[in-house]
Amino acid sequence: MSVRRANIADAPAIARVNVDTWRTAYRKIVPEDYLAKLSYEKKEISWLEIISTAENNTHFVYVAQNNSGKVVGFAAGGRERTGKYVYQGELFAIYILEEYQRQGIGRQLVQSVATNLTALGLKSMLVWVLGDNSACKFYEVLGGKKVDEHQTIRAGVAVKEIAYGWTDIKQLTVDNPPRPQGGMTVDSEN
């Protein structure tokens, strides 16, 4: 398993992971008809744009590959987008195919994002997650603290979003790998 910076050629694989993980992770949270209509092609266009503009240091994307070179997960991060929070950086997205979860990939992707944010001089980070998502435990195990929550509409359904924050992301970087807290493994979800 390896993690590296994404490039344009990764857009189709990232789109596939994005759609497939939405269909598994959110199947009991958002309507099935919405998930069925998710399009690999539309997601690929979005990811092409995101990756192609990643050179400006406001955002970046990493992919995780299995030993055969197949992209099995990705994470995107950058500067916090709203300016409403004291957190300087943001983990925008992290998705790993279901059959590759609980193998340390999520931790590696978070480490890559945190390390990149640190290289940009950013010291803190937040991530938003759907409240009914089991990934909440993953962020808690990594030391994330619940810092905000609100209701929003996703796929036509009112859902709770929770923000987890880290005031010092140095603890998450490659030089300082996260240690499990509370008796759980670091890879509880991702």
For 16-45, what is each residue's pLDDT tens digit?
999 999 999 988 888 899 999 999 999 999
Helix (H/G/I), strand (E/B), else coil: 14: helix
Domains in the chain with CATH codes: 2-123 (3.40.630.30)
| pLDDT tens-place string over residues 95-133 | 999 999 998 999 999 999 999 999 999 999 999 998 888
| pTM of full prediction above 0.85 | yes
Q: How many C-beta atoms lie closer than 10 Å to residue 104's C-beta?
A: 17
CB 156 within 8 A of CB 177: no
